[in-house]
Amino acid sequence: MKINKIREMSSPDLEKELGELKSELFKLRFSLATNGLDNPMKIKEVKKDIARINTILKQRELEELKN
Protein backbone atom coordinates (compact mmCIF):
# COMPACT_ATOMS: atom_id res chain seq x y z
CA MET A 1 0.00 0.00 0.00
CA LYS A 2 1.34 3.41 -0.92
CA ILE A 3 1.83 6.07 1.75
CA ASN A 4 -0.23 8.61 -0.22
CA LYS A 5 -3.22 6.27 -0.18
CA ILE A 6 -2.79 5.74 3.56
CA ARG A 7 -2.69 9.50 4.22
CA GLU A 8 -5.94 10.00 2.29
CA MET A 9 -7.80 7.49 4.46
CA SER A 10 -9.66 8.55 7.59
CA SER A 11 -8.54 7.35 11.02
CA PRO A 12 -11.44 4.86 11.48
CA ASP A 13 -10.66 3.40 8.05
CA LEU A 14 -7.01 3.07 9.02
CA GLU A 15 -7.96 1.28 12.25
CA LYS A 16 -10.09 -1.16 10.25
CA GLU A 17 -7.30 -1.72 7.69
CA LEU A 18 -4.81 -2.24 10.53
CA GLY A 19 -6.97 -5.00 11.99
CA GLU A 20 -7.27 -6.68 8.61
CA LEU A 21 -3.53 -6.52 8.02
CA LYS A 22 -2.78 -7.99 11.44
CA SER A 23 -5.10 -10.93 10.79
CA GLU A 24 -3.53 -11.40 7.35
CA LEU A 25 -0.06 -11.42 8.94
CA PHE A 26 -1.21 -14.08 11.41
CA LYS A 27 -2.55 -16.24 8.58
CA LEU A 28 0.66 -15.81 6.59
CA ARG A 29 2.84 -16.79 9.54
CA PHE A 30 0.63 -19.79 10.27
CA SER A 31 0.76 -20.86 6.64
CA LEU A 32 4.55 -20.47 6.58
CA ALA A 33 4.91 -22.67 9.64
CA THR A 34 2.59 -25.41 8.44
CA ASN A 35 3.12 -25.85 4.72
CA GLY A 36 5.22 -23.01 3.36
CA LEU A 37 4.30 -19.97 1.33
CA ASP A 38 4.41 -19.29 -2.39
CA ASN A 39 5.81 -15.83 -1.71
CA PRO A 40 7.52 -15.43 1.69
CA MET A 41 8.22 -11.76 0.91
CA LYS A 42 4.50 -11.12 1.40
CA ILE A 43 5.09 -11.23 5.17
CA LYS A 44 7.62 -8.41 4.87
CA GLU A 45 5.23 -6.31 2.76
CA VAL A 46 2.38 -6.74 5.25
CA LYS A 47 4.64 -5.82 8.19
CA LYS A 48 5.74 -2.65 6.39
CA ASP A 49 2.13 -1.70 5.67
CA ILE A 50 1.28 -2.18 9.36
CA ALA A 51 4.20 0.06 10.32
CA ARG A 52 3.14 2.73 7.81
CA ILE A 53 -0.41 2.81 9.17
CA ASN A 54 0.83 2.95 12.77
CA THR A 55 3.11 5.86 11.85
CA ILE A 56 0.31 7.88 10.26
CA LEU A 57 -2.03 7.20 13.18
CA LYS A 58 0.64 8.34 15.65
CA GLN A 59 1.32 11.49 13.63
CA ARG A 60 -2.38 12.35 13.66
CA GLU A 61 -2.57 11.71 17.40
CA LEU A 62 0.37 14.04 18.05
CA GLU A 63 -1.14 16.75 15.84
CA GLU A 64 -4.36 16.61 17.86
CA LEU A 65 -2.41 16.95 21.10
CA LYS A 66 -0.59 20.03 19.77
CA ASN A 67 -3.83 21.83 18.95
42-58, pLDDT tens digit by residue? 999 999 999 999 999 99
**pTM reported for the whole predicted model:** 0.91
Q: How many angstroms separate the CA atoms of 30 and 37, rounded? A: 10
Q: What is the pLDDT of residue 36?
A: 85
Q: How many helices (H) and strands (E) does the chain have?
A: 3, 0
Q: List the domains of the chain with CATH numbers.
A: 3-66 (1.10.287.310)
pLDDT at 22 exceeding the cut of 90: yes
